[in-house]
Amino acid sequence: MSSYLVDVVDRNEIHLVGLSIVESLNKVMETKIGGQLREELERRQSEVANRVGSGMYLIQVYPMDGHWTPDVPYRHIFAYEVDSLARIPADMVSYTLPAGRFIKVVHKGAESRIGKTYDFINETYGARPIDIEYWSDIHALENEDSQIDIYVPR
C-alpha cells in the first residue's frame, strides 16, 4: 500500500494559456497525444505572453453528468499560468481556474505510475468535475524523485 501526502489548500483564481484536446483517456494513452502536446507547448512557451513561473499545468475537465470512464472523451488542457489573458496565440486556448478549496495529493515517482495515485484519489474522493496536475519540471517526470501535485475540488 502506498502512502500519499494529502493536504487541504485554498487556491486563488489562476489564468492559464495553452493547448487543448477533447479525447478519452484510453485514446490519449494509446496515441501518446498528451506527451506530444506537452512537448509542443514547451517548444512554443515564448509565444505565451505574461507567463508566471516555469511549471506547466494539465487541467482535466470531465463530463458534467459524472459518468466518466476511460473511454469517455473529456477536455485536456496543457497550459502555463499567466498574469493576464490580454494576448492569446490564435491556436491556443485560455482557461481560468476559479478560486476555491482543493485537496492536494502529491504523486511521488515516475509519471507512468500515476494511475495508482488516481486510484487512491478515485476511491477516497469519488467523481469530480475537474482534476488539476502541476508539473514543476516536465523533463523529470519519469524520474523516481519526480513530484506531481494533483488538486481536486473539495
Average pLDDT over residues 27-49: 96
Q: Which CATH number fits domain 5-153: 3.20.80.10, 3.30.565.10, 3.40.30.10, 3.40.50.300?
A: 3.20.80.10
Of residues 4 and 51, more confidently modeled: 51
Average pLDDT over residues 70-86: 96
Over residues 16-33, the pLDDT tens digits come to 999 999 999 999 999 999
pTM: 0.94
Q: How far apart are CA 49 and CA 39, in angstroms?
A: 18
Over residues 87-126, the pLDDT tens digits come to 999 999 999 999 999 999 999 999 999 999 999 999 999 9
